Structure 1
């Protein structure tokens, strides 16, 4: 049997009820990790855990609003209580927000997007890093976006928050590299998730819309959640032992143009 990349490790994934988060949790479990799945969406999160346990994994769902410090602290504490340690973490939770011109963007929605997509990543690292230090190191992957690298019209809040995730990732990588913690960010292109297919740009509602979004990618299609999960698992594993502070587009060459 081939060596599993995360054998014996304990981890957590936020935003694990669907899409990239679910695919990542499943991939981590297949590679031998015990995983806490966190989300505000209880039904979806519990379904992810059912899928993992049915495949032989060790998983637990913990309802978590990543914009609340007390929720994130409880998530990390519960993960350590369940598995005895924390070795790896994927800070994936995010919302798309409203599509609107910058000068017309609703303030309440702007604040909410930043609270979940940016502050949430900071809160997760704030509580994860002390536990990783207790183990002598570990690895974190933050889910940014191509909109952490380039602009997208009518998505001011999301773009600003994801640019912030890139900045937080680099700061954390520099601060903790010498103490054995690696921190990287993945920047997906447009992926076939509920956020992209059903909400946001709603690429799944009309063939014309899907083809327009697909055409932004030189590869000629949208990505699959599993393709992002594969990169995340590789970054969490010891095979990426010299990779930290990296901000990696996984976007079918969209940002290479």
Structure 2
């Protein structure tokens, strides 16, 4: 018996990185998974590999959300879970951030999460789950990622409000807050087909050794396991909460 047997879950940003690992794990645990992304070739290949359904979804487009949810319901008859994983990151100081760049990040990270909740929740089965991907930066400041941090703070607000409003239907809403994770977002070398993933991961581990108490960067599979916990019945009395998964980074700095 899988932890998600009989459930239908939509995962956004599912073509690679954390979303890919979430889709793989959820499928292995018995869920019917709808992979949503704008990376069509990668998304379709992954869906075929794991026996899932792929839909093209730009999370900032309301009509595409409606189409994705309709596809899920036509294919499986219901929706029980949503993982709002899609997100983008841009590096810039606040005073050097153009408005267009700021709004681009808001559109994907914040508006995408809002539209996901607003579109999926009304048709979700009672007792369903929503997991929103926030960030370590939703709970602490970080220089050079002001637009990103602002959207991740906003996602925590959306999570808490949605948890309150949907509780009467038994729908639980929580947020995962990863620190640095070895995906293309924090490790662009993963986009280089000639790069050695093991070498780049080791280089990142060395970079974070002095920052993170556990001495390494996070792995997307670790975030996926947390998302699974929040989607399955193991977390049946948990809602409205941020869950930090950062190797102890937020705990503070050790001077010894």
Question: By the TM > 0.5 criterion, same fold?
Answer: yes
The residue that corresponds to 2:3 in the other structure is: 5
1:80 matched to 2:73:
yes
Question: Which residue matches 1:56?
Answer: none
Say whether 1:145 aligns with 2:138.
no
| Preserved CA contact (<8 Å) 2:57 2:68 | yes
Q: Does 1:112 align with 2:104?
A: yes
Residue of structure 2 in register with 1:247 after alignment: 242
**TM-score calculated relative to the size of structure 1:** 0.91
> How do residues 177-188 of structure 1 correspond to structure 2 at under 5 angstroms?
177-188=167-178
**C-alpha contact (below 8 Å) 1:9/1:88 kept by paired residues:** yes
Distance 1:10 1:139 in 2: 10
Count of matched residue pairs = 246
Gaps of 5+ in 1: 54-58
Give me the whole-angstrom Cα distance separating, in 2, the residues matched to 1:37 and 1:174: 27
* SS, match of residue 118 in structure 1: helix
Contact 2:204 2:216 in 1 (8 A): no
Deviations 1:94-115 (A, max 9, x none): 0112x11110012111101000
> d(CA) in 2 for partners of 1:226 and 1:51?
17
Identify the residue that residue 211 of structure 1 maps to in structure 2: 206
How far the C-alpha of 1:47 sits from its partner, in A, is: 2.3
Q: Secondary structure at the match of 1:76?
A: helix
2:216 corresponds to which of 206, 211, 221:
221
Contact 1:198 1:205 in 2 (8 A): no
CA–CA separation in structure 1 for the residues paired with 2:204 and 2:126: 48
Q: Is the 8 A contact 2:204 2:217 kept in 1?
A: no
Q: Note closer, same or farther for the CA distance 1:73–1:197 as it changes in structure 2 (3 Å cut).
A: same
Q: Secondary structure at the match of 1:223?
A: coil
| Residues 24, 226 of structure 1: 8 Å contact kept | yes
- Does 1:126 pair with 2:118? yes
Shift in Å at residue 209 of structure 1? Answer: 6.0
Instruction: From the superposition, tell whether residues 209 and 90 of structure 1 become closer, same or farther in structure 2 (CA, over 3 Å).
Output: closer
Deviation for aligned residue 1:179: 1.6
Seen in structure 2, the aligned counterparts of structure 1 residues 210 and 107 have a Cα distance that, compared at 3 Å, is farther
Given candidates 175, 188, 212, the residue that maps to 2:165 is 175
Aligned equivalents of 1:145 and 1:236: distance in 2?
A: 18
Task: Show the counterpart of 2:94.
Answer: 102
1:142 touches 1:165 (CA, 8 Å); kept in 2?
A: yes
The residue that corresponds to 2:83 in the other structure is: 90
The CA deviation at 1:139 is 0.4
Cα distance in 2 for residues equivalent to 1:206 and 1:89:
29
